Amino acid sequence: MAKISINLKDGTAKKEDTLIVGIDLGTTNSLVAYMNDGKPVAVKNKKNQNTLVPSIIHFLPNGQKLVGNDAREKLRTDPANTIYSVKRLMGKSYNDLSAVSEYLGYEVLDDDTESLVKIRVGDTFYTPVELSANILSALKNTVESALNQAVSKAVITVPAYFNDAQRQATRDAGKLAGLEVLRIVNEPTAASLAYGLGLEEEEAKLIAVYDLGGGTFDISILQIHDGIFEVLSTNGDTFLGGDDIDRLLIDYWLKINGRDQQDFIVDKKKGQELRLIAERAKKTLSSQLLFKERYDGMNCQIAREVFDQLIEPLINRTLDKCKSALKDAGKTISDIQHVVMVGGSTRIPHIKESVSNFFQQPLFDELNPDEVVALGAAVQADILAGNQKGMLLLDITPLSLGIETVGGLMDAIIPRNSKVPSRAARQYTTSVDGQVNLKVAVYQGERDQIANNRKLGEFILKGIPPMPAGLPKIEIIFAIDADGILRVTARELRSGVEQEIEIKSQYGISEEDMAKMLMDSITNAEADLKIRSLLEARNEANNVVLATQKFLEQNDQILSDDEKNKTRALAESLKASINGEDKDLINKAMADLNDYTTPIAHRAMDVHVADAMRGTNLKDK
Ligand code: AMP
């Protein structure tokens, strides 16, 4: 039965919260949805419009904050105090952001290149967790006033590739905003649920979820069978999305108007203004064939056809990732039965067309691509509330789980990306004659040394009968249930002596552990970040090598032999650096190649633009 509580401040009555809402905490926009008469709906305002909340925070001089649309207005007038794309900063170091920070209108603090980013606003430093909490509070207020009901429980979605630290950071942001986060759900799982995929018990289905948002691209291959969701593989690019399309447009206009990019970097207000015009142009072109505007003496004009050619390389990058994801899942295009489109950028007609051609089938794109994740989160919330019996959602473990062995080394028992629930066992023995106790310390992480991983807990298996070293057979069993709770059991098989602990590794932490876990996750994020940065640098370098090959092929007529040879040589050194362990070396080789090819690329671009102006089709080149 619903209880009523009275708000003593304004005298209004609020129903006690029985509702669990679904929240899509997005890079560009965030949204809340809830179940209404068995159907997920996005929260609407009094005018029955969607309350998509731009994920933007503005700090007023008096220290107060504006969130959402009001903050968006300030992007133009006060960019230094207006923060957007916070999700990109979750768990990232300054180093990882150096390539894009010049495009951010606000200041990312550069105190130590390997440490996690903080954002400086005036004299105050904010963490991405605090900033995300501001967005979540605004969403909480929106849904509470729309429904006139207190809301304190939520399901929040995250990209499937988010590591444990990033998931934990999202959970912490929820907690800071006064929300009990019942579950962190993968975005592609939520999107599929919004379309009702997997809600009916039927034969196994393979689904591709193509998610092109404002800042990120994700492709996920999901398998649903008997109402169970399993992420077979994920791929994507954390720096590819609508923002990049805006940037392509800006670069195009600067080029055709003969303007210097530096003017717009130095004058941040002007830069932001141009960014907003580019976004407007892009959206206009989703329904019209031409966009025309003037700004700062520039002709900001573009036709759909030219735009389509401009974004072709970006679309191809996403399709390359789709190929990799299929390969990782051990599947081919013909295995995929459904393709779900997510994210505002999938409104672009040329993207829809290209994805549909790639997967050789019609798309699931009828729902609003900005809402689909939140709607699915509401469905998941409903399942958690017990309203849809028999549904179980599976995730993958984002990090390996294992124990400490001799020399402080990590022995992974359940490797990362294993399905949940999962169970694995391994046998160990003693190293000292007559040893009667054995310490079992459980860790999570990808590093070889446990010191670099996160400790989840430990216990001591006592009462092993004294035997010569190497004789006892100690079996250690790791079992993770569907809620992500890890149970570790150690058993001496000859005597039957047994000990067990339960660890909530991913879902739910007690209030007391909150502060400690937050510190832990920050520490480990840094450690994991190093590996991740190397992998990311390798990834990017592979893309650059491929792009260079394409560039050489496409511009064969324009480049001199000397330029071709030098470009090839630099691409070769980049290729050689990819196999090494030094991310700085890879980045340096990438920068060398980039420095050398940028002026040539500009020259080639001039030729192409001149051709395009004359009406020649770039694709025909
Ligand atoms: P999301 O992160 O999913 O909220 O994606 C928002 C992105 O979608 C931003 O880059 C928007 O500029 C872009 N977007 C929104 N509407 C459209 C549209 N009609 N056509 C093209 N892009 C759009």
CATH number for the domain including 74?
3.30.420.40
Nearest to 50 by CA among 27, 68, 72: 68
What is the DSSP code (8-state) at residue 465?
P
- Cα–ligand 1 centroid distance for 276 (angstroms): 12
pLDDT tens digit sequence for 45-79: 767 676 789 999 999 998 899 999 999 989 878 88
User: Where residue 406 falls among pLDDT bands split at 50, 70, 90?
Assistant: confident
Report long-range pairs for 302-307 (Cβ below 8 Å, ≥24 apart): 302/249, 302/252, 302/253, 304/349, 306/252, 306/612, 307/249, 307/281, 307/282, 307/350
pLDDT average, residue stretch 455-480:
87
State the pLDDT confidence band at 620, using cuts at 50, 70 and 90: very low
Do both 118 and 139 map to the same domain?
Answer: yes
Q: What is the structure's pLDDT at 98?
A: 62
Reading the block at residue 277, the tokens are 């015009």
Atom 21 of ligand 1, nearest CA residue: 283
How many residues belong to the chain? 621
Q: Are strands 180-186 and 153-158 parallel, antiparallel or unpaired?
A: parallel
Taking the C-alpha atoms of residue 550 and residue 474, their distance in angstroms, rounded to an integer, is: 56
Tens of pLDDT, residues 295-339: 999 999 999 999 999 999 999 999 999 999 999 899 999 999 999
pLDDT value of position 529? 60
424 plus 301 within the same structural domain: no
Same domain, yes or no, for 146 and 239? no
Give the model's pLDDT for residue 188.
Answer: 94
Helix (H), strand (E), coil (C) string for 134-183: HHHHHHHHHHHHHHCECCCEEEEEECCCCCHHHHHHHHHHHHHCCCEEEE
Q: Cα–Cα distance between 416 and 480 in angstroms, integer?
A: 12
pLDDT band at 499 (very low <50, low <70, confident <90, very high): confident
Torsion, Cα 35 38 42 46, to 10 degrees, reads: -90
Label residue 331 left, alpha or beta by phi (over 0 means left) and psi (-120 to 50 means alpha): beta
Element (H, E) at 115: none
Q: Where is average pLDDT lowest: 22-36, 191-205, 548-562, 566-580?
A: 191-205
pLDDT of residue 569: 95
The residue whose C-alpha atom lies closest to atom 1 belonging to ligand 1 is 213
Closest CA to 105 of 247, 246, 272: 272
| DSSP3 helix / strand / coil % (the chain, rounded to 5) | 40, 25, 30
245 CA: nearest ligand 1 atom: 10
Residue 141 lies in a domain: yes
CATH number reported for the structural domain that contains residue 473 in this entry: 2.60.34.10
Percentage of the chain lying above the pLDDT 90 cut: 40
pLDDT band at 586 (very low <50, low <70, confident <90, very high): very high
Domain membership of residue 100 as a residue range: 8-195+369-384
Q: Let me know if 239 is exposed, middle or buried by CB neighbors in 10 A (0-12, 13-18, 19+).
A: middle
Note whether 129 and 50 are same-domain residues: yes
Query: CB burial class (10 A; 0-12, 13-18, 19+) of residue 163?
Result: buried
* Residue 23 vs residue 38, higher pLDDT: 23
The answer on pLDDT for 14 being more than 50 is no
Report the nearest-CA residue for atom 15 of ligand 1.
344
pLDDT band at 220 (very low <50, low <70, confident <90, very high): very high
Structure tokens at 519: 């510190």
As a whole number, mean pLDDT of residues 392-407 equals: 70
497 and 351 together in one domain: no
354, 414: one domain: no
Alpha carbon distances (Å) from 427 to 129, 404, 470, 472: 40, 13, 11, 10
Residues 6+ apart with CB under 8 A from 166: 90, 91, 158, 525
**Looking at the structure, do residues 14 and 116 belong to the same domain, yes or no?**
yes
70 falls within a domain: yes
Confidence of residue 618 (pLDDT cuts 50, 70, 90): very low
SS3 232: strand
The reported pTM is 0.63
List all residues whose CB is within 6 A of at least one atom of ligand 1. Answer: 26-29, 213-214, 241-243, 279, 282-283, 286, 343-345, 347-348, 370
Same domain, 566 and 509: no
| Count of CB atoms situated within 10 Å of the CB of 317 | 16
Query: Atom 20 of ligand 1 has which residue's CA nearest to it?
Result: 283
Domain boundary residue, one of 384, 419, 442: 384
Tokens of 608: 């192409």
Closest of 476, 490, 472, 474 to residue 433, by C-alpha: 472
Token reading at 474:
């100690």
What is the side-by-side strand order in the sheet with 454-461?
Answer: 409-414, 401-405, 438-444, 454-461
Residues recognised as catalytic: 24, 87, 187, 211
Residue 346 Cα to ligand 1 middle (Å)? 7
73 occurs within a structural domain: yes
pLDDT at residue 202 greater than cutoff 50: yes
Query: What is residue 614's predicted lDDT score, i.e. its pLDDT?
Result: 66
Q: Is residue 203 part of a domain?
A: yes
Tell me whether residue 496 is in a domain. Answer: yes
Contact 195, 367 (CB under 8 A): yes
Residue 393 lies in a domain: no
The rounded distance, in Å, linking the Cα atoms of 452 and 190 is: 33
Please check whether residues 134 and 58 belong to one and the same domain.
yes
pLDDT for residue 526: 55
Residue 395 in any domain: the answer is: no
Question: Residue with structure tokens 């759909």?
Answer: 304
Distance CA 177, CA 25 (A): 13
**Ligand 1, pocket-test mutation among 28, 52, 85, most atoms within 8 A of CB:** 28
Position 506 pLDDT exceeds 60: no
434 assigned to some structural domain: yes
Judgement on whether residues 429 and 286 belong to the same structural domain of the protein: no
Count of domains observed in the chain: 4
Residues 481 and 337 in one domain: no
Same domain, 40 and 80: yes
What pLDDT does residue 3 have?
33
pLDDT exceeds 60 at position 439: yes
**Does residue 527 surpass a pLDDT of 70?**
no
**Taking the chain, what is the end-to-end CA distance rounded to the nearest angstrom?**
69
Residue with the larger pLDDT of the pair 99 and 343? 343
| CA 283 to ligand 1 centroid distance, Å | 7
Q: How many helices (H) and strands (E) does the chain have?
A: 14, 29
